[in-house]
Amino acid sequence: MSQSRVPQLHANVTVQDFLERYEVGETVGVGGFAVVKKGRDKLTGDPVAIKVVDKSRYAAGDNSLEREIQVLIKVNHPNCIKLYDVYITPRKVYLVTELVTGGELLDRVTEKGNYTEKDAASLIRQILEGVAYLHANGIVHRDLKLENMIMMNERDDSPVKIADFGLSKFFSPETVLSTMCGSPQYVAPEVLGVGDGLKEYSPAVDMWSVGVILFILLSGYSPFDDDNDAVLFEKIKKGTYDADDPIWEGISKDAKDIVAKLLTVDSSARLSAEQALQHPWVQGKCFGDVDNGDVKQLAGTMDKMKNMAVKRDSMRKSFIGDAAAAKAMAPVLDDEEDVSSYL
């Protein structure tokens, strides 16, 4: 399917209307609110993914589904998941997207026969391209994490896709971003500061999360980690990340530099996506010839990431609400209801 295809919103339709266009296949994923299935576009014959959402599972006042649809309709970039169609029926919502078959980024890295800083730079550059596009188009993701980075296909040069826009939101000079949300190990300090002196935050929260992703891609472990969320959040607010592991002795000075400039507590001093894309390490200017062995293999990083993949389920949780409600997964408290009248 073409990246340029314009998503269509089909409101107040029946399941039969949906089935006239799409054939539904096997289940490939199950979540709290939705089931994801493989499918086929009967008109074009192209494979698709179909997210079947049960509207009754959402709490009153939770408009995260509406917001996700609003954002996905606007998103059109090679490094972001592509939406094709939305069918809104009385009980279900069907979101039809491109079918991605390459699995999660974390799994792909751990399955590689070799892995270098140059590989990590290539991956983070694609993520930055996607984030730069979102920010330029007035969209803040608010839940960037390794688990939401998926590979388009199984080829070695597969594009990275940013997925899961359930916490994303449009922003503008008139918009106040103040909902505490994200994933514990990836959330920016200013998000945690809302209600504790701070009244709002900026799209720079996404860049902190990119910094965490990059830290993990280089070292194989999380910069901020604690079984107790309260202790974890205090570490994040102070910005004291753990880079004492011997593995960092083999990481280049340029790589350490961009990590430090992303994991900066002062959001106004943090690199923007456009600035990060211009960093020498991201542009690959500091790498030698891979074929001649000039780029060091990150074998230790891969070993650590394999351990991380095993305990990954505990890192998947996202939260919305105040600190006390974080674990309770409180309903979304935002506004924006352009399509809510259809749901």
Shared domain for 122 and 185, answered yes or no, is yes
Shared domain for 281 and 153, answered yes or no, is yes
Instruction: Give the H/E segment covering residue 16.
Output: helix 15-21
- Residue 125 neighbours by CB under 8 Å, 6+ apart: 277, 282, 283
Shared domain for 244 and 310, answered yes or no, is yes
Q: Dump strand ranges (E) for 139-267.
A: 139-140, 149-151, 160-162, 169-170, 181-182
Q: CATH number of the domain at 278, please.
A: 1.10.510.10
For residue 179, is it within any domain?
yes
In this structure, which amino acid lies at residue 22? Answer: Y
222 is written with which tokens?
Answer: 């999380």
> Catalytic: 303?
no
**Higher pLDDT, residue 287 or 244:** 244
Please give the residue range of the domain that contains residue 138. 105-325
pTM for this structure? 0.87
pLDDT for 219 equals: 93
Shared domain for 233 and 314, answered yes or no, is yes
Q: CATH number of the domain at 61, please.
A: 3.30.200.20
Final residue belonging to a domain, choices 70, 99, 128: 99
Shared domain for 64 and 202, answered yes or no, is no
**From the candidates 62, 85, 119, 143, which is the catalytic residue?**
143
51 is in an annotated binding site: yes
187 is written with which tokens?
Answer: 């959330």
Residue-wise pLDDT tens digits, 217-269: 999 999 998 888 899 999 999 998 988 889 999 999 999 999 999 999 999 99
Shared domain for 155 and 252, answered yes or no, is yes
- Split into its structural domains, the chain has a count of 2
Shared domain for 166 and 240, answered yes or no, is yes
280 is written with which tokens?
Answer: 């020498």
Q: What is the DSSP letter of 114?
A: -
Residue-wise pLDDT tens digits, 70-121: 999 999 999 999 999 999 999 999 999 999 999 999 888 888 777 899 999 9
Shared domain for 165 and 288, answered yes or no, is yes
Residue-wise pLDDT tens digits, 204-213: 999 999 999 9
- Residues 124/213, Cβ–Cβ less than 8 Å: yes
Measured between alpha carbons, how far is 213 from 205 in angstroms, rounded to an integer?
13
